[in-house]
Structure 1
Amino acid sequence: MLVVRVLGPIEVELDGCAVDLGGPAPRRFLAALSMAVGTPVSDAVLSEWVWGADHPRHTVGTLRVMASRLRSALGAREHLQRGNSGYLLAVPPEWVDHQQFAELITDGVRLLASGDAARAARLLGQALALWRGDPWPELDQAAGSAAERIRLVELREVAVEELQAARLACGDTATAVADLSEAVTAAPFRERRWELLALGLYRSGRQAHALAELRRVRELLIEELGVEPGPALRGLEQRMLDHDPNLLLVESERPHSVSQSASTLRPVGRPLSVFIGRREELGLLAELLAERRMVGLVGPAGVGKTRLAVEYCAAEANTTDRWLVRLGDVHDGGAVVTAVATALGLVHITGDPLTLVRRALTMQPGLLVLDNCEHLIEPIAELAVTLLAGCPELRILATSRQPLGIDGEHVLTIEPLQTVDSDGADGAAVQLLIDRVRAARPGWQPTDDDLAAARDICASVDGLPLAIELAAARERAFGLAGVAAHIRDRLDVLGPTPRGSLSRHASLQAAIGWSIDHLGAADRAMLLRLWPFEGGFGWEAAEAVQSGATDASVLASLASLLDRSVITTDRTPSGVLRYRLLETIRRYCRDIDPDPEATRAAHAEWVRALAGEQAALLTGHRAGAAYRVLAVELPNIRAGITYDLACHPVHALRTTASLQFAWGTLGVLVDGRNLIRTALDLAADATSAERAHGLLALSIVSFHAGDPREALARAESAMGLLGGAVERELWLHALMYRALALTALGDPIPTRAAVDAVIAEVERRPAPDWIRGCAQFGQGLALLMEGQPAQAISWLRAARELSADCGHLWCEGMADVVLALSILSDPDDIAAAGEALAAIDRALTVFAQQSNTSDALGAAYAAAYALMVRGLPEQAIALRAAAVHHSERVGADPRRYAQFAHPAVIERMDRLLSAAPAAAEPDLSWTAMVAMIAEAAGRPL
C-alpha cells in the first residue's frame, strides 16, 4: 500500500518503507498532485506550482522525465498516470493523510452533534495525530495551494476545539481545561475556545476563575479588535451569573449557531494600486445589481474582472454586506460550498454545509461575490440557483471567463482597456501603463518616444490590464522602447505577477494557459488551428482549416470558445459577424501548437482558395460583394502570401497575380506591388503563363501607382512570354494594359496603335462584355488624346453603359471620371462643370460599391478641376490638396487622369494653388470630400 503524508513535509511510504522522492522539484510535483488526488492536473498548473515563474524552457518534457522517475520510486506505474487533461495521483483517498484528516474531523463533529461524544473524541484525536505541521510546505506561497492549506488549517483549529467539547461532554474536564488553557494562548481571538475553557472551569467548581476568563477575553477583544464578545460568550457569562444548573450537566455542547458565526464577517479588501478606467463599467454594474439578483462579469484572462468586482464592493461598503469567495484554487466541485462557508465565517460546520450557508445568507442577506468560476461552472451554477431560490434578499456577482448559464443571469462582458479614446487621446490602457511605471520610478515623466512605445505595448497586449501591469514591471530593465520591441513576438518579456495582486496566476502565460487547459479536446484542437488568422475570421474560414470538421461541430466549438472568452467577436460595417483571437492568446497558441507548420499551411491553403474564388467575381455583378470580402480579409491574405513566399513561391505568385484588380482598388498598392515583385523573383519554377500573369498584375498596379513606364515595360514583357494569343485572356489583358500605360505617357500615335490592337482582337473573336467595355473605354481615351472630344464622349458613354450592364464596376466608374474631364473642354463653361460634377458623383457611388480607394481619390482630384470651372476656387484647392494627401498614404497617383482635362483648367489650378498654399486642407476627411462633391453636383445627402 502507498501512503502519502502532506500534513507537514511530504513523506511517502510504500508497504511500510520510506520512498526517496529526490530533490525539491519532484517533491513539489508529487505534493501538487496529492492536493487534487484522483483528479488530473494540467501541465500549465503543474508548471506554475512546481517552478512558478522560473519554469524550464521545455516544461512538458521536464515534467515527463520527472513523472517517469517518480513512477520508478513509487514502484507502480498505475499510481502516477498521464491522461489527456494532465497527470493524476491515482490512489484511494484514504491513502493520503489530508483526505483522512478532513473525513475524520467531519465525522467527529457530526457524532458530537448527534450526542456520541466518546466516539467523536476518538475520531478527532486520530485526526489531530495525523498533523505534523502546515500542509504542503514544499509548495510555499507561490503555488495555488493557499485556499486548500487555509481550509485544512482551519479544520485543525476546529478539531482542537471540538475535541475539548467532546471531552467536556464525556466528563473529562481536567484534560479539556488543561488543553484549552494552551489553546486560548495559541489563538486568543477564537471565542469558541474561551467559551469551552470557561465552561470547563465552571464545571470544575472554579466559577470565579471562569468569570475572570470571560472578563479577560472581553478586555482582549475590545483592546485589540474594538469589538464586544459574541452572543455565545455573553450568554454564557449571564448564565453563570444566574447560576444556571444546566451548565453543570455533562452533555454534548453544540457548536455556535450560524447567526453567531456570521456576525464576525469582514469587508472585502481593496488593492493598494490606483484603479484606472472602468468608470462606465462600475456605473453599469451598480445599476445591474440594483435591479437584478444574478450578474456575471465575463471576459478573457487578465481583463480585470476580479479587480472590477472588488472595486465595486469597496465603493458599496456602507450599503450592504459583501463576501468575496476566491474559487480559483478550488479544484473539486464538492468543495465549492465549503469555500463559500469559509468566506462567510462558518468555521464550525456540523451537518450539511449547504443548509448552513443558506441559513446564514437568509439571516444576513447581502452580495455574494463568486470569483474565478470558469473551471467549476456546473457546481457553482447549481449552488447559485439553490441560494437565489432559498435566500430572497441575496444577490450574487460571479466573475468568470464564461457565463454560469442560469435563468435570470445578466451578463456584463468586460472588454480590454482602450489604447485610444474616441476623441483620439490616450486611453485608459496607456494611462494604466504610465501610472504603473511611475509607481516604480517616482518623478518619472514620459517622453514622446516613451508615449509612442507605451501605445505600441498596449496595442500588442490587447489592452489587457494584467499584461500592461506586467509590462510596466519590465520598464526598469528594458525601458518602454525595449519592452515594445520584444513584446511583439514573445510574452515572456513580461514581468511576474506582483505580490498582493488580485491575479492568482504567476504570469500572463499561466493565466492564458488556465483558460486553454480547461477546454475540451475538440475546442482546444480548433483553437490551435486559428492562431494564424490575422484580423479575424468567419465561421466558414474556421471550418476550412479544420480537418474533417462539420458545420455543426465548428459552430458548436466557436460558440464554446466564445462563451469561455477565448475568442471575441466583431462586426464589419455591413454587419457580418467575425471572430477574433486576442493577440496575446494568438501568440500563446502559436507557442504551444504541436504542429505549427501544418497550421500555417492550412491557413495559407484557405487564403489561396479565398483569393481565387473572389478574384473570379471582380469583373461581374458580384464584384461589390467580392471586393468587400477581400477588404475585410486583407490581413489574412497578406499572412497567407507571406507564408507562401517562404514555402511555396509559385502559389504566392498565383495569388498575388489573381488579385491584380484588388491591390489598387482596395488602396494597398505599395503592398501589392512589393508582394508581386517578390513572388516573381522567388517563383523560379513558375510556368511562362504564370509569370506573364504576374507581370500583368505588376503592370496594372504600377499604372495606378503613377509609374506608366514600368506598367508599359511589364505589359510588353508579358506579351513576349505569351508569344501571341495562346492564352487569350492573358493576351487581351496584355493588350489592354499596354494601351492604358501608353495613354498615361501622353503620346497619341502609339496610343492609337495600341488601342486599335485591342479593338481588333476583341472583334476577331468573341470576348467577355467587360473586356469589350474596356476596349470602348480605350477608344474614348485615344480620341481625347487626338483632340476629338465629341466622338470621345460618345465612346465613353457607351463604355459606361455596357460596363454597368455586365457589372464591371471599375470601367463603369472610370468611364464617368474621364467623361467628366472630357466635358470640361471649355474652361469657362459653367454648365459643363455641373454635368462633369454629376458624372464624378456617379463614379464615386460606383467606387464605393467596389471599395475602390485609389480610383475614388483620382475621381476627387478630377472633381477639383470641375469645381475650378464652376467658380469655386477655394473648394477646388482644398479638395485637390486632400486628394493628394490621402493618395500619398495609399500609394496611388491621383493625377493619372488629369491629362484629359483642358490645359487651361490645369494651368489655372496650378497658378491658384501656388498663389494661395494656405488655403489647402490636406486633412480634409474622405466623408467631407464626398459631401463637398455631392453638394456641388446638386445631389441631396
Structure 2
Amino acid sequence: MLGPVEVEVDGRPLDLGAPKPRRLLAVLALHRGRPVSPETIAEALWGDEPPASHAVTIQGYVSGLRKILEPERAPRGASTVIQTSALGYALRLPLDDIDAARLEAAVRSAGATARTDRDRPWLLAGSPDPADLAAAAELLDEALEAWRGEPYADLVDDPVIAVERSRLHEVRTAAVEIRELIRMQRGDAAAAARRLEAEAAGQPHRERLWLLYAAALVRAERQVDALAALRRLRDALRDELGVDASPAVGALETAILQQRVAPGAAAEPTPALRVAVVDDHPMFRMGMTGLLGSLDGLELVGAAGESATARKLVSRGVDVVLMDLDLAGESGIELTRELMREHPDLKVLVMTMHEDDDHVAGALHAGAAGYLLKSAEADDVLRAIRGVARGELIIGSAVAGAARSRLAGPGDPR
C-alpha cells in the first residue's frame, strides 16, 4: 500500500489485472480487516456516478481477486482472504502482511527502544542496549524499503484518503527520525546528517526533524552549519506560520554554543503526556491514534467516538483531550464544558472542521485551551498538544482572526 498496489506471494509478484480490481483491493486494505460496504467500494471505484449494476460488478471483481489471491481454493470453497458478511467485504490478512502496518509496527517497536527526552529530542534517554538499537535499525530499514511512493496511489483523492496518506507520511518521517538518531548514536553522524538534510528540505516546519539534523551536524563537527540550520527553522516558523520556535530549539542552540551536544549523550526521560482522542469519525480516530502513537513524549490513553466513552477515558487520568465538536448528534462544546468542570486540570484541544467565529468562541468559552482545524500538519498538532499542556492558549492560524474578534464576547453554539 506504500505506493501503487502490489501483492507478492513467496517473493513472487501477482498480476492483479485491471485498475478497478486493484483499487478495490486497496480500499479493503485501507480498512484493515473491517467490513467495507458495497456503497463505499462503489464510491471509491466510480465516484458519484456508479453504474446501476455496481453491486454485481463488485461481486465479479471480488471473485476475480479471490482466484488470484487463493489459486488453490476449491471452486465453491470459503475464502479466507476476502470474506463476505452482511456488512460487506473484508480483507482478512495478518497485519504483518500489509506494508503500511509493518511500517507502523516498526516505528512503535523502535520508538520504545530508542526513547528520547520530550524536551531534548536529539538525545537518547537512558542507556539502551547496543544490540537492541541494532535490531531496531534493521527493523526500520526493512520497513522503509517498502516505501515506493504516494500511499494508496491507486485510490482517487477524497478527505478520508487524504487523512490516511498524511498519517502514513507522518509515520514514515517518524521512522526516518528514529533511524537517524540510532545512526548518530552508533557513531555515523555524517551519514545521518546527509539523510536528515534531504528530509528537512521537504519539511521546513517540522521541529523535531530539524533538531535532529542540527544535532547530527554538530556531531559531524559542523557547528556553524548546525546553528545556521536552526536559524532557518526559526525564520520559517516565524515568517510562514507566524509562530515562535519551541523552547527545545533554544535549548539546542545553547547546548551547541556550550559544546554540550556530545555523541552518546543521554537524558533522563520526562513523563509522557497522556492524551486521548474524542471524535465520532472512525477513520479520523484511526489516523490520529496512529499519529499520536508514533510521537515521542506522548502516551495514547485511548480513543472515543461518543461522550460516555470519553468520560471513562478521562477518568483514567488524561493530560490533554483532542476533541471534535460534532459527536454523533452530541455537542463537543457541551462535553468540553462538562469535562472541564469535573477535571479542572484537564486541557482540551479542539480539532474540528468548523472554522466559523461562533464555534471558535463557543469552544474557548467552554474552557478549551486550544483550537485547530483537522487540516493542521502533524508537527502543528504535536506543538499544540505540548503548548496547551504547558498552560498556553494555542489557536491555529486558520482561525486566529475569529479567536481574536470573539474571545471577549459571547459565543456558545450547541
For Structure 1 versus Structure 2, the TM-score category normalised by the shorter chain is 0.5 to 0.7
Say whether 1:241 aligns with 2:257: yes
Whether 1:19 aligns to 2:14 is: yes
Instruction: Tell whether 2:141 aligns with 1:146.
Output: no
Q: 1:383 offset after TM fit, Å?
A: 4.3
State the partner residue of 1:222: 238
Distance change in 2, residues 1:200/1:396 (3 Å): closer
Q: 1:37: Cα distance to partner?
A: 2.9
Aligned to 1:768: none
Paired position in structure 2 for 1:338? 289
Q: 1:144 to 1:393 in 2, by over 3 A?
A: closer
- The structure 2 residue matched to 1:156, chosen from 157, 160, 172, is 172
Sort the Cα spacing of 1:22 and 1:169 in 2 relative to 1 into closer, same or farther, 3 A. same
CA 1:257/1:124 → structure 2, altered by over 3 Å: closer, same or farther?
A: farther
TM-superposed deviation, 1:132 = 0.6
Match of 1:598 in 2: none
Deviation at 1:209, TM superposition (A): 2.5
**C-alpha distance in 2, partners of 1:194/1:330?**
30
Task: Give the Cα separation in 1 of the matches to 2:46 and 2:133.
Answer: 45
Deviation at 1:243, TM superposition (A): 2.9
The answer for the alignment partner of 1:232 in structure 2 is 248
Looking at structure 2, the residues matched to 409 and 209 of structure 1 have their Cα atoms a distance apart, in angstroms, of: 45
Mapped pair 1:35 → 2:30? yes
CA deviations 1:351-388 (Å, max 9, x no partner) are: 74228x9xxxxxxxxxxxx8xx4xxx5xx743442225
**In structure 2, how many angstroms separate the alpha carbons of the residues matched to 1:219 and 1:94?**
41
Q: Judging changes above 3 Å, is the alpha-carbon distance between structure 1 residues 253 and 129 closer, same or farther for their aligned structure 2 residues?
A: farther
Deviations 1:820-874 (CA, angstroms, capped at 9, x unpaired): xxxxxxxxxxxxxxxxxxxxxxxxxxxxxxxxxxxxxxxxxxxxxxxxxxxxxxx
Residues 1:354 and 2:368 are matched in the alignment: no
Q: What residue number does 1:82 align with?
A: 84
Match of 1:179 in 2: 195
Secondary structure, aligned partner of 2:7: strand
Report the CA distance between 1:164 and its aligned residue.
1.0
Shift of the 327–257 alpha-carbon distance from structure 1 to 2, 3 Å rule, reads: farther
One-letter amino acid of the structure 2 residue matched with residue 160 of structure 1? V
Structure number with higher strand proportion: 2
**Match in the other structure for 2:326:** 399
Residue 97 (str. 1) matches residue 24 (str. 2):
no
Deviation at 1:215, TM superposition (A): 2.2
Q: 1:389 to 1:186 in 2, by over 3 A?
A: same
The 3 A distance-change label for structure 1 pair 121 and 234 is same
Cα distance change on mapping 1:57 and 1:196 into 2, 3 Å: same
Relative to 1, partners in 2 of residues 1:139 and 1:252: Cα closer, same or farther, differing over 3 Å?
A: farther
Change in Cα spacing, 1:230 to 1:347, as seen in structure 2 (3 Å) is farther
Alignment correspondent of 1:199: 215
Which has the larger Rg? 1
Q: Which runs of 5+ in 1 are unaligned?
A: 1-5, 263-322, 358-369, 412-501, 503-941
**What SS does the aligned partner of 1:141 have?**
coil
Q: What secondary structure sits across from 1:145 in the alignment?
A: helix
Deviation, 1:32, is 0.4
Aligned mates of 1:153, 1:327 — CA distance in 2: 23
Distance 2:156 2:190 in 1: 38
**Larger relative contact order (CA 8 Å, sep ≥ 6):** 2
Residue 42 of structure 2, aligned match among 23, 41, 47:
47
Is 1:250 paired with 2:264? yes
Pairing 1:472-621 to 2, within 5 Å after superposition: none
How much does 1:179 deviate?
Answer: 0.9
The answer to whether the Cα contact below 8 Å between 2:189 and 2:219 also exists between their aligned partners in 1 is yes
Pairwise CA distance, 1:17: 2.8
Report if the CA contact (8 A) 2:7-2:14 is conserved: yes
CA distance in 2, matches of 1:403, 1:210: 49
Q: CA deviation at 1:142?
A: 3.0
CA deviation string 1:900-941 (max 9, x = no partner): xxxxxxxxxxxxxxxxxxxxxxxxxxxxxxxxxxxxxxxxxx
Q: What's the offset of the Cα at 1:394?
A: 6.5
CA contact (8 A) 1:102 1:155 kept: yes
Closer, same or farther: CA 257–64 of 1 in aligned 2, 3 Å: same
Q: Normalization by structure 2: what TM-score?
A: 0.66
TM-score norm. by structure 1 comes to: 0.31
Q: Quick one: structure 1 residues 188 and 137, their matched pair in 2 at CA, closer, same or farther if it must change by over 3 Å?
A: same
Label 1:65 to 1:350 Cα distance change in 2 as closer, same or farther (>3 A). farther
Structure 1's 395 and 93: CA in aligned 2 closer, same or farther, altered over 3 A?
Answer: closer
AA of the residue aligned to 1:14 = V
- CA RMSD, Structure 1 to Structure 2 (Å): 3.6
Paired residue type of 1:328: H
Q: Which amino acid aligns with 1:382?
A: T
Deviation, 1:118, is: 2.5
**Going by fraction, where is helix more abundant, 1 or 2?**
1
> Residue 248 of structure 1 aligns to which amino acid in structure 2?
A
Give the aligned length.
315
Paired with 2:227 and 2:212, the residues of 1 have a C-alpha distance of 12
CA distance 1:223–1:126, shift in 2 (3 Å): same
Q: Are residues 36 and 402 of structure 1, via their aligned partners in 2, closer, same or farther at CA, if it must alter by over 3 Å?
A: same
Q: CA deviation at 1:53?
A: 0.5
Is the aligned partner of 1:69 residue 2:67? no
Q: Which whole-Å CA distance do the structure 2 matches of 1:203 and 1:149 have between them?
A: 33
Deviation at 1:67, TM superposition (A): 0.9
Go from structure 1 to structure 2 and tell me whether the alpha carbon gap of 1:258 and 1:227 turns closer, same or farther (over 3 Å shift). farther
> Cα deviation per residue 1:725-747 (whole Å; 9 max; x = unaligned)?
xxxxxxxxxxxxxxxxxxxxxxx
Contact 1:9 1:138 in 2 (8 A): yes
Amino acid corresponding to residue 8 of structure 2 in structure 1: E
Structure 2: distance between partners of 1:10 and 1:224: 36
Aligned amino acid, residue 7 of structure 1: L
Counterpart Cα distance in 1 of 2:19 and 2:315: 46
